[in-house]
Amino acid sequence: MSSQHSTSSNRDSVIPMPGTDAIVKDFSTHQCPTVDQQDRRVPVNLRQSGPTPVEMLISTRVRKSPFWHLSHQAGCWRATVYNRIYHPRGYVRPEDGGAMVEYDSLVHDVTMWNVAVERQIQVKGPDALAFVDHVITRNASAIAPMRGKYVILCNEEGGIINDPVLLRVAEDEFWFSISDSDLELWLKGVNVGLRYNVTIGEIDVAPVQIQGPKSEALMVDLVGDEVRHIPYYGLMEAKIGDRDVIISQTGFTGEKGYEIYLKNATLNPDDMWNTVLAAGEKHNLRVIAPAHHRRIAAGILSWGQDLDQETLPFQCNLGYQIPRQKDADYIGRAALERVRAELDQGRYPFRNILVGMVLGGKPIDDYAPDFWLISDENGGDPVGYVTSPWYSPELGTNIAMGYVPVELQAIGTPLKVWLPEPYAETPGVPVDAAVVEMPFRASVNPNAREIAKARGLDASS
């Protein structure tokens, strides 16, 4: 959403803002003051994201991943920065169909993504299991060697500081495949006082994702039939392009998929990448950007967008990550158990909660540059905000995740969403929306929350 500064000294005056001029007030705060964020020390920044009119200077603070030149060769035309690394966010240009063309390849064929921004932080040593158990909320002892699990790490207040995939590659060795926050420094800081007998640090391993219904067939061509038998979150060692890799059956889509973790990645990226490209030709492989449209449909969260260090797991559908029984103590446990006790009594110790929504408007066919605003069904002052919107071809409607006050979370609750001009049906008029269940589409590999729901169980037990 674009904006213009007001020349009026009246803080209550309406500020001209295309698509939201009727409801966004008090631009001097760079916020929407009617959205209650009293739970947070730093409010979610509702008016300061999006493009900038100045040229961005990129210095040596930002790295190129081992696959960056290969992504460029594959047609990457835009990127963002994630974990201080260039992150490809577009291969098919808008005039050729853009991200929705990439989506078609994901849901019908097979795709490869450069996700080397998922830095690998290794914890290794005699105390590796005990240390990992202290920093994640789930039971690390339940992860056998050559298996993985989606986990969260929380601060002492229960806020989520990272939500990596955790790989246990040996009895005494774990890899945190991290999201967009500096987990290496956190882990090292935690161990300053605890003195566990471990080494902690980033290693020269970089992943690509292989996602889509033809991913298994491609992986069989690359490494043989053994890959068919990897369980979800299982691992196997292999060679691709004569380079050592670890393969996991994981992904960011809800489709069938794998990740290939290349060892010594800075030295040997071309051999592995080009071998996958060659094997993928008969499967109609396309190199694409991470498919946020599909991960939204699967209810998969993106750290920094749908959650951050001031978000409690119970606010964002991650309550299943907090076990009711765990022998080892872990960082944030006391705070999280206090929150759960309140919830068990029917009380909400937080103001806002993440919901899924279907909404009107023109098809949202690209990344949202701002946190678009949500009002109740009457379309008055905003009370919430959208974090992840996109158009779902299968459902024939726009879908989104967003935060609303807890009293508006019930399935079927009508809402209004203030879309910017490219997507609004009528500029300045909000579109109809309604709260729906997540995931929006069933996943090929359901997560623990989906499985527990289907079985009528408590996923956190």
> How confident is the model at residue 74, as a pLDDT?
98
Distance CA 253, CA 150 (A): 14
In this predicted model, what pLDDT tens digit does every residue of 75-127 receive, in sequence order? 999 999 999 999 999 999 999 999 999 999 999 999 999 999 999 999 999 99
Mean pLDDT (the chain, rounded): 90
Q: Please report, for the chain, how many H helices and E strands are present, in that order.
A: 9, 21
Residue in the structure block whose two tokens are 């797991």:
313
Q: What is the pTM of this model?
A: 0.91
The angle at the Cα of 250, spanning 249 to 255, to the nearest 5 degrees, equals 100
pLDDT category at 262 given cuts 50, 70, 90 is: very high
Distance CA 282, CA 287 (A): 14
In this predicted model, what pLDDT tens digit does every residue of 292-339 receive, in sequence order? 999 999 999 999 999 999 999 999 999 999 999 999 999 999 999 999
Lookup: tokens for 316: 């964002």
Residues 6+ apart with CB under 8 A from 352: 36, 37, 39, 315, 384, 403, 404, 405, 406
Which amino acid appears at position 278 of this protein?
A: A
Instruction: Supply the DSSP string of 65-113, one letter for each residue.
Output: PTTHHHHHHTT---EEEETTEEEE--SS-GGGTHHHHHHHHHHHSEEEE
Q: What is the topology classification, in CATH, of domain 297-436?
A: Gyrase A; domain 2 (3.30.1360)
How far, CA to CA in Å, does 451 sit from each of 114, 148, 256, 457, 460? 29, 17, 16, 8, 12
Which amino acid appears at position 138 of this protein?
A: R
Work out whether strand 352-359 and strand 373-376 pair parallel, antiparallel, or are unpaired: unpaired
pLDDT category at 7 given cuts 50, 70, 90 is: very low
Asked if 427 and 18 touch (Cβ cutoff 8 Å), the reply is: yes
Helix (H), strand (E) at residue 452: helix 448-455
Distance CA 118, CA 148 (A): 15
In this predicted model, what pLDDT tens digit does every residue of 205-215 receive, in sequence order? 999 999 999 99
In this predicted model, what pLDDT tens digit does every residue of 389-426 receive, in sequence order? 999 999 999 999 999 999 999 999 999 999 988 999 99
Q: What is the mean pLDDT of residues 272-277?
A: 98
DSSP state of 25: B
Asked if 136 and 333 touch (Cβ cutoff 8 Å), the reply is: no
Which amino acid appears at position 436 of this protein?
A: V
